[in-house]
Every structure is written in C-alpha cells, then in structure tokens.
Structure 1
Amino acid sequence: MKNKEYFSTGEFAKLVNVSKQTLIYYDKYGIFSPMYKDENNFRYYSLSQFEALDTLISLKEMGVPLKEIKEYLSDKDIEGLVELLKNKNEAIKNQINKLRHISNKIENKSLKLEKAIKQRLIKEPYFKRCDPTYILTSSVESKDYKEIMAKIIDFINRCREKEVFDNGNSIGGIIKKEDILNEKFNNINAIYIVIDNKTITDDVNVKPKGIYACINHRGSYDTTHISYKKLIDFIEQSGYEIIGDGYENELIGYLSAQSQEKYLIELSIQVQKIK
C-alpha cells in the first residue's frame, strides 16, 4: 500500500519535532506541502522531505521571515539558498560573539560583586601589593560639573563601542599625588577602566606595580575626604610615604546599593616604606 511508504502528518511531526498544527499551517499557506494527499485529503510526507523541512525550521529560527522562505521554496534557487545560508550563518556568528561578550561581562560583574561582599568585612586601612595593571584612561580636568559629566559619558560610550574595553569593570577615578598631599581629594584628574590586555591606543596607561595603602570607603563620593584622611594617618603611622597617585575603584555602586550611603569604594594610594 502506498501509504506505508509515507508518514502521516502526526508521524512526520514527531519525526521532525514540530507540532502537527505547524505542518498543517505550512501546507495551508503554501510554505511546505506534503508529498501527496489521498482521496480523503489526508496529508502524507516522505522521508526525503526531512532535510528540506529541517532547513526551513533552521531558517525560521535564524529570524528569516516565512514569506522569504516561501519565495525560495517556490523558486528552488540553489544559488539564492547558498547566499541566504551564508548571510544568516555570518549573522549567527556575530550574535554568538556578542552573546559571548555579554556573558563574559556579566561573569566579570558577578566576580566583582562577590569580591565586594568580602571587602565589606574589611573596615580598617590595609596594605596590598599590586602587579602592573593596564588601564584605559581619559582626562577629566575641569571645574565645570557638566563638562566633567559629558567627558565621563563620552568615555563610557567609547568603551561600549570597543567591546574589548566594555568588560564589566567599573569606571574609577585618579587623583594626582600632589592633590592628595594638598588634601584636594575631590580633584579627579582622570577616569579609568581596567582592561585585560595591552591594546594599541594612546589612552592606555599602566597602574604601577608596587605597594598600595587601601581603605574601603562606605558612603557617597562627597564624603571620601573622611576616608582619605584616615588612610593618610595610617600611612604615616605605619612608617610609609606617598609616592604615587590615588585610585578610586567602585566596588558597590548604583547597580546594587539601595542608596549612596551604601556605596563601597576602594581608595588606594601607591606608597613605599620610609628608609
């Protein structure tokens, strides 16, 4: 019997892992039809149609409109199909790279927040030895608040455009050694973001290797002067001297803090033991 060589709509639907209603819909609108219909108008499909339907489903999952798929299946244009598949495959690769970048960025954020949770427990100043760190920087020297904010926004957009820099690390501030010594703790000279690798660009600098005196400031940026003074007292009492710039690294900020009073900002200054 001829029907033994073919699959009913329900059987073929199970074989290709789609619903029976999907096959009926495709047939109704001329997108994908059964191999033949019997005198009772029952649909029957052939195993030879499997690859065609599998490709159709893949194209649909890629976002190709059914109208475009229908046009191809009507013309049976093999060159057109090759071009379509290549274009869509390239789009998928780009999307995979984008999703991989987003995944890495989220993972980095998660690790930073886990570190911040531990850092919250450290309430007193401390010393730590740091390896050289590549940072992308941008000068924000200005007395005008709106101009400073415009530069910060421009820096953020530049980081997003170059995904290598948009890595989930928070943007920090740099205060010159001279301003720290003169207690001008609000004079942010530049902003920065830590990057993973050395990249050829004029704006990449290195946070020097060495010993840093650190304190975890709790509260808004407006009150960092309190922690800076405490940190400087700690440096002097420990027999160290300031030899480099100060770095502000936001560990907990707007994303995860209920208010500015809950912010956690690591303040660090490069120091050395007085000989």
Structure 2
Amino acid sequence: MSDKIYLSTGELAKMLGVTKQTVIYYDKIGLISPAKREKEYRYYTLEQADELDSILTFRDLGVPINVLKDYLKERNAQSCIEMLRKQKEKLELEIQKMDRIRKKIDGRARLLEKVITVSDFKAVKFSEEERQLYMVEECKEADEKTFMESFIKLCNHSKRLQIDFENPVCNIIKKEDILKGSFRNTAYFGINISENFNGIDIVKFEKPAGIYASTYHQGSYETMYIAYERLLSSIETEGYIVCGNAYETDLLSTLTNLDKNEYMKLISIQVMKV
C-alpha cells in the first residue's frame, strides 16, 4: 500500500458511527464503492469518509437511495438544491398528513374522555344547539347488507377526505319515523363537517339550530327504543313537541368495546314548546 491513508470497512464504520453491514450494503448497491480492494478487503480514502458522511446526512433527511444514486453521478450545487427542495416538499406533505392524524387522534380521545365521565346515562336534557353540517350518505335499508353498504360507503368517503375517526358517525332519523315509532329507520348516515368544508361528490345535510332533547342509550342497538321512549315521555311531560329529526351519535361501539351491551349513543331530537 502507498503512503496515502486508507480506512478499512470497520474503521470507516466506526468513524461514522454506523455498522460494517451498512458500508458493505452501500457498496453492493453502488452508492459508494471502496477506492481499492485487496482480496476480500475493502479500503476507503479519507475523502470517501467525508462523502459517506454526506450520504448518511441525506439519508437522515429521508432522501431515497435511488434519488441519491442519480444525484451522486452528476453532483453539483444546483442539482443538490433541487434535490433538497423536492425532499422538503415531500416532508411538508408528510407533516400535513401527520397533523391530520394527530387531530383525529385528539378528537376521538377527547370524545371518549367526555363519555367516561357521564354519571347519569338516563337523564334527559333540553338545550339550545347551534347549526351543524353533516356529510351524508343516504341509507337504503332494503336489508342488512345494503344498510351496511351505505355505512361503509360513508366511512370510505370520509377516509379519502381525511376526516374519518375525528368525528363519529351519526344516524339521522326523520321526524315522521320518530312519530311512528320507527326508531331504527335510518334515513342518512352522516359525519360532522365544518361550515366551509368542500370535497368531491359530497352531499351536505343541515342540522338546524334550535332546542334539542337529548339522552344516552347504553346497550345493544336492538334496545334503542327504550331510550326513545324515555325521550318522548320527557318531551311531552316538559311541554314540548317533536319538530325535527333525531340524531344518533356513536360514542362507544365495536371500535372500543367487545360487549355490545356496553355500546353507547347520544340521541338528540329537535323539539319546540307547544
């Protein structure tokens, strides 16, 4: 060997704080090859140590290996700027995605924290509520399969629009079905959206501002009529009449509970004084 300083694979790896396997792998894929080989041994120059350090920095920044290989073939300041700019754009999109995920997690956690603090599930409350908008999917209840297809269609649409999980699914029951006692005749599945929300092929449904009577239902969906009967009885007793739709919001369901007897919905019906 000449007087020029060479580093073995192990020495180079130790200097840069990586494993020998990483250095060997980068050689095998053609990212950085040793300056010389003697039998089965690889030797790298000090300049290559600096080059590999830069490569590792780019990899830490998330630059894909194939992009890095192309860049290293014809590297210059301008191409480096372009590569970093593209990587920044990718990272900004990823940050936006992570922020949406964080908001969805926070929203569902806040909802669950509120639910587990409820002390009286059978209480009926009358309160003024603000106008709300829902993205809805019409519910076609010819049978259980089409019922579920409508539900899944809304869920898939909400995933594509990145608003799933943050807001629970709401069943909307029309006033005429409430008065007939057909409490399980869901007209629409909906997810709450903001006033300025826009998306492709969405159908919006308005929940008007007004007075709503609300209570919780805990148990299987087959026993929902018990909560409705409690609501309607209190509405009559307090001198109100039903003047709008019912909104059933899933709070605890298959997502959080194994036992369907622990499922929970918040039921709200629009009312007015007689």
- In 1, distance between residues paired with 2:44 and 2:125? 77
Q: What's the secondary structure of 1:181's corresponding residue?
A: helix
CA offsets per residue over residues 61-81 of structure 1, 9 Å max, x none? 52613x6534542x2343655
Q: Which runs of 5+ in 2 are unaligned?
A: 37-41
Equivalent runs, 1:183-262 vs 2, <5 Å: 183-200=181-198, 203-262=203-262
**Map of 2:152 onto structure 1:** 153
Deviation at 1:112, TM superposition (A): 1.0
Write the letter of the residue equivalent to 1:58. F
> 200-209 vs 24-33, which deviates more?
24-33
Using structure 2 for the length normalisation, give the TM-score.
Answer: 0.79
Asked if the contact 2:34–2:43 (Cα under 8 Å) also holds between the matched residues in 1, the reply is no
Pick one of 172, 176, 179 that aligns with 1:178: 176
**Residue ranges of structure 1 left out of the alignment (5+ in a row):** none
**SS of residue paired to 2:269:** strand
Match runs of 1:1-275 below 5 Å: 18=18, 22=22, 26=26, 31-32=31-32, 45=46, 50=50, 53-59=53-59, 62=62, 64-65=64-65, 69-73=68-72, 75-78=73-76, 81-119=80-118, 121-163=120-162, 165-166=163-164, 168-200=166-198, 203-274=203-274
Contact 2:12 2:49 in 1 (8 A): no
Output the amino acid matched with 1:255.
L
Q: Deviations over 1:137-191 (max 9, x none)?
A: 121143322222112211111111112x335211110111111111111111111
Instruction: Check the 8 A contact 2:12/2:44 in 1, yes or no.
Output: no
Partner of 2:39: none
Range with bigger deviation, 117-126 or 222-231? 117-126
TM-score (norm 1): 0.79
* Aligned-residue identity in percent: 33
Secondary structure class of the residue paired with 1:99: helix
Q: Which one-letter code corresponds to 2:234 in the other structure?
A: F
Shift of 1:44: 5.9
CA contact (8 A) 2:150 2:189 kept: no
> What amino acid does structure 1 have at the position aligned with 2:115?
A
Per-residue deviation, 1:101:
1.2
- Number of aligned positions between the proteins: 266
Say which SS state the counterpart of residue 117 (structure 2) adopts: helix
Judge conservation of contact 1:27–1:33 (CA < 8 Å) in 2: yes
Indicate conservation of the 8 Å contact 1:120/1:264, yes or no: no
Are the structure 2 counterparts of residues 260 and 68 from structure 1 closer, same or farther at C-alpha, using a change threshold of 3 Å? same
How far is 1:196 from its partner?
Answer: 2.8
Pairwise CA distance, 1:194: 0.7
